[in-house]
C-alpha cells in the first residue's frame, strides 16, 4: 500500500534496476471508520492508544485542507 511511501519507491527502483518483468501497483490505504489505517500492528494498541492514533489522521486531514 501507499502507507510506506519510501519502501514503495525502493521496490520500484529495485524492479527497474533488475529489469524484472514485474508491474508494481500501489494500493490506496484502507481505513477503519475512525480513520486509523488498517494494520495488523494496530491490534497491539490499547483503546486509549487507538483513540489517540485516530486523531493524528484527523489533524493531518485538517492541515492538508489548509494548504489545498
Q: Quote the CA–CA distance of 47 and 44 in Å, as a whole number.
A: 10
In this predicted structure, the answer to whether residue 4 has a pLDDT above a threshold of 90 is no
What confidence tier does 3 reach under pLDDT thresholds 50, 70, 90?
low
Residue with cell 486509549: 48
The angle at the Cα of 10, spanning 57 to 63, to the nearest 5 degrees, equals: 20
pTM: 0.62
Widest CA span in the chain: 46
Q: Where do the structural domains in the chain lie, given as residue ranges?
A: 1-30, 31-68
DSSP 35: S
User: What pLDDT is attached to residue 45?
Assistant: 95
The tens digit of pLDDT for each residue in 7-56 reads 999 999 999 999 999 999 888 888 999 989 888 899 999 999 999 999 99
Amino acid at each position: 500500500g501507499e502507507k510506506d511511501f519510501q519502501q514503495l519507491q525502493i521496490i520500484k527502483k529495485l524492479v527497474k534496476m533488475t529489469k524484472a518483468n514485474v508491474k508494481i501497483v500501489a494500493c490506496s490505504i484502507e481505513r477503519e471508520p475512525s480513520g486509523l489505517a488498517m494494520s495488523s500492528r494496530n491490534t497491539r494498541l490499547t483503546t486509549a492508544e487507538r483513540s489517540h492514533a485516530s486523531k493524528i489522521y484527523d489533524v493531518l486531514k485538517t492541515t492538508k485542507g489548509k494548504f489545498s
